[in-house]
């Protein structure tokens, strides 16, 4: 060896300094808010303006197109009487419970489909097909099977979200670079340890995408089920509230209900899934989409 070791050490240290990727500088909070928070606010304000103008032009009768202020009053009324919280709670706790049950069912199911060839051949395409079946289609059958009970609602929610979550997990596992499980085997990981420490974390981005879609589907399915299957013993969820508004010909109530449904959807996405996805992708250096 011609070069003394300490010189090589220095060369190595120099290479590390030169070759290591440079960290991008993070912009300050207010600038990030300006970039990501302000555009949707402007869009919302524009939408309100167009609505107000349409109403003012009186092209449509009041029972079809209400004034923004009237809808606002309805929202304020239902919130101040506490009615809105009861309605939101009824729907949200159903959606969350249904979603959690779907996760518990879909995760082992997805693992089975991804890792056992026979299972994939048998039900893989069925599951993908189920995803394109609107879950509303299950409501009539579910009412015949379970009557107008919470079981009907949970059944429809499960049928809506299980395929999405399982498919997301399958896609996530299919996209794992084959070298990673090989490394696991070379390091002496058994099947279980490999699933826990390599397969599941490696499939996490796909799984998370499946969870996100699964939540959207369970929320959607829940609304469909609540609108169709209404009975006093089921209590008033957002779907029933919407249904009642329609029965009473109260357009303010209908629009307020739609607004609340959207609010929950966007709220869960922004408060739960977006930060989770961001953290997972950032940890892997996949910052392009953020």
Residues 231, 233, 234: CA angle, nearest 5 degrees? 70
Spatial separation of the C-alpha atoms in residues 162 and 154, rounded to whole Å: 12
The SS3 of residue 252 is: helix
Task: Using alpha carbons only, give the angle 213, 197, 193 rounded to the nearest 5 degrees.
Answer: 120
Residues in the interface with other proteins (CB under 8 A) total 36
Map the footprint of other proteins across residues 237-276, applying CB under 8 A.
none
- End-to-end, the C-alpha distance of the chain in Å comes to 48
Burial of 239 (0-12, 13-18, 19+ CB in 10 A): buried
The single-letter DSSP state of residue 82 is T
53 part of the interface to other proteins, by CB under 8 A: no
Judged by CB under 8 A, does residue 15 bind other proteins? yes
Using CB under 8 A as the criterion, what x/- string covers residues 141-180 for binding other proteins? ------------------------------------x-xx
| DSSP H or E stretch at residue 246 | helix 238-247
Nearer to other proteins, 232 or 288 (CB): 288
Question: According to the binding rule CB under 8 A, does residue 19 interact with other proteins?
Answer: yes
Q: At 65, give phi and psi (nearest 5°).
A: -125, 100
Residue closer to other proteins by CB (options 45, 180) is 180
Distance CA 192, CA 203 (A): 15
Q: Using CB under 8 A, which of 42, 285, 288, 289 touches other proteins?
A: 285
Q: Which helix (H) or strand (E) holds 285?
A: none
Compose the 197-236 pattern: x for residues touching other proteins by CB under 8 A, - for all others. xx--xx-x--------------------------------
Q: Which is nearer to other proteins, 9 or 62 (CB)?
A: 9
Task: Indicate which single residue of 50, 100, 116, 193 sits in contact with other proteins (rule: CB under 8 A).
Answer: 193
The residue within the footprint of other proteins, chosen from 5, 28, 61, 232 (CB under 8 A), is: 5
Residues in contact with other proteins by CB under 8 A are: 1, 3, 5, 8-9, 11-13, 15-16, 19-21, 23, 177, 179-180, 182-190, 193, 197-198, 201-202, 204, 280, 283-285
């Amino acid at each position: 060896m011609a070069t003394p070791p300490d010189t090589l050490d220095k060369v190595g240290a120099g290479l590390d300094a030169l070759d290591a990727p440079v960290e991008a500088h993070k912009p300050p909070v207010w600038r990030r808010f300006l970039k990501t928070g302000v555009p949707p606010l402007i869009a919302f304000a524009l939408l309100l303006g167009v609505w107000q103008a349409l109403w003012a032009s009186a092209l449509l009768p009041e029972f079809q197109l209400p004034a923004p202020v009237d809808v606002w009053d309805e929202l304020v009324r239902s919130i101040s009487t506490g009615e809105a919280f009861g309605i939101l709670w009824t729907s949200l706790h159903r959606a969350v419970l249904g979603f959690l049950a779907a996760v518990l069912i879909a995760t082992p199911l997805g693992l089975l489909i991804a890792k056992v060839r026979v299972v994939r051949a048998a039900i893989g395409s069925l599951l993908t097909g189920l995803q394109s079946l609107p879950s509303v289609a299950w409501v009539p059958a579910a009412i015949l099977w379970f009557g107008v009970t919470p079981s009907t609602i949970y059944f429809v929610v499960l049928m809506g979200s299980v395929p999405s979550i399982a498919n997301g997990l399958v896609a996530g596992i299919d996209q794992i670079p084959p070298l990673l499980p090989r490394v696991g085997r070379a390091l002496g990981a058994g099947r279980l340890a490999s699933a826990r420490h390599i397969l599941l974390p490696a499939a996490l981005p796909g799984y998370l995408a499946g969870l996100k879609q699964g939540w959207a589907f369970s929320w959607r399915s829940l609304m469909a089920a609540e609108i169709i299957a209404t009975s006093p013993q089921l209590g008033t969820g957002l779907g029933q509230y919407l249904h009642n508004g329609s029965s009473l010909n109260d357009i303010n109530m209908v629009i307020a209900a739609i607004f609340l449904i959207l609010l929950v959807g966007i709220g869960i996405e922004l408060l739960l899934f977006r930060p989770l996805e961001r953290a997972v992708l950032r940890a892997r250096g996949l910052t392009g989409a953020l």
